[in-house]
Amino acid sequence: MSRTQQLRDAIAADLSPAAASRLSQMTAEISADPSAAARLFPAAAREVARGPLDPDDPSGIHGPTLDDAVRGVLLAALAEAVDDDARLLREVSDLYRYGDGDEKRAVLRALDLLGPEAQPVVEDALRTNDIRIVAAAMGTWAGTHLDDATWRQGVLKCLFVGVPLTAVSSLGERTDLELARMVAAYAHERLAAGRSVPGDVHLVLDQEPGALDQFPDVAAALRPSA
């Protein structure tokens, strides 16, 4: 079974018969003419479906929305129709570059169809302050491919803009002492400015408690009340 069919089957129960039929038509069009993706990708939410996949994650911070998933099917069809990696990267990058916020997020959620060469797309996403885009940028592709320095900066960006660290893919596996020191310094600066510290910094600092040795104020602030 193709990846396109697998992804389409995964959301079949969330689509009306008419929506499922339209999605099938769109994938067939892209399979026949990959350049059709530039026209169909932006229209997918309107013509197929939009909304949450997980009612507990309506904004798509921790995972894809239904419109992300629909567009992910189209991107899978595009990847199967284009047999040139450089062309695929250009096509996907253009869909991201010229897309609105929802389209950018959908591209980021589907980046696992590309390898490390997609890093410029993620780097661009991490320069925004849209929490949905930043969260998607730190999803599964980043957890697997993003270089250590950029990944650490991405975690800090999540803290700065308010993306919960539970949305960061591979946080447990990739946290190291350097990241913990950066997070501790961030927390120290927040405390010095009289501001609160996001509670989920513990997801990093609990893994590398030695990072708090230079920041006793942070250690005290995070210590559970008796």
pLDDT in tens, 18-42: 999 999 999 999 999 999 999 999 9
Which residues in 164-220 belong to E strands, given as ranges? none
On the 0-12 / 13-18 / 19+ scale of CB atoms within 10 A, 196 is: exposed
Q: What is the C-alpha separation between 17 and 165, in angstroms, rounded? A: 37
In 3D, which of 112, 120, 103, 132 has the Cα closest to residue 45? Answer: 103
Q: Give yes or no for a contact between 111 and 121, defined as CB atoms under 8 angstroms apart.
A: yes
pTM of the predicted model, to two decimals? 0.94
On the 0-12 / 13-18 / 19+ scale of CB atoms within 10 A, 174 is: middle
For the segment 209-216, the average pLDDT, to the nearest whole number, is: 94
Q: What is the rounded average pLDDT for all residues in the chain?
A: 96
Q: What is the C-alpha separation between 19 and 201, in angstroms, rounded? A: 41
**Residue 55 has what pLDDT?**
94
